[in-house]
């Protein structure tokens, strides 16, 4: 995924600690993810209905590449996320 123009979108909601963790991790990966957009699913009923049990969702180029089910307490998810985006 080393394209300059790929778009990264994080679907989540305010107060979601998992969403915040993913966004913080993406901020720390500036070379792989120079910019991402956060979308509050509570502001879009279709997104809320589809994803509220799976957040955080990371979408790259329109495709879901990561969701909350991939997260673990040991932090291995950070390596998985990095691999998906590099």
Q: How far is CA 64 from CA 5, 74, in A?
A: 17, 23
Average pLDDT across each block of 10 residues of the chain; the chain has 86 residues. List them in order.
70 97 94 91 97 96 94 94 89
The domain total for the chain is 1
Looking up residue 45, the CATH number of its domain turns out to be 3.40.30.10
CB atoms within 10 A of CB 85: 21
| pLDDT given at position 4 | 52
| pLDDT given at position 86 | 80
Domain assignment of residue 50, given as a range = 8-85
Report whether 48 contacts 41 (CB < 8 A). yes
Report whether 12 contacts 56 (CB < 8 A). yes
Report whether 58 contacts 29 (CB < 8 A). no
Report pTM: 0.89
**What does the alpha-carbon distance between residue 78 and residue 39 come to, in Å, rounded to a whole number?**
20
For residue 2, is it within any domain? no
């Amino acid at each position: 995924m080393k394209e300059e123009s790929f778009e990264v979108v994080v679907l989540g909601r305010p107060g979601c600690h998992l969403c915040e963790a993913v966004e913080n991790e993406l901020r720390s990966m500036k070379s792989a993810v120079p910019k991402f957009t956060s979308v509050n699913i509570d502001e879009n009923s279709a997104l809320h209905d589809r994803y509220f049990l799976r957040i955080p969702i990371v979408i790259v180029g329109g495709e879901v590449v990561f969701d909350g089910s991939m997260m673990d307490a040991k932090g291995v998810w950070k390596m998985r996320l990095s691999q998906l985006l590099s």
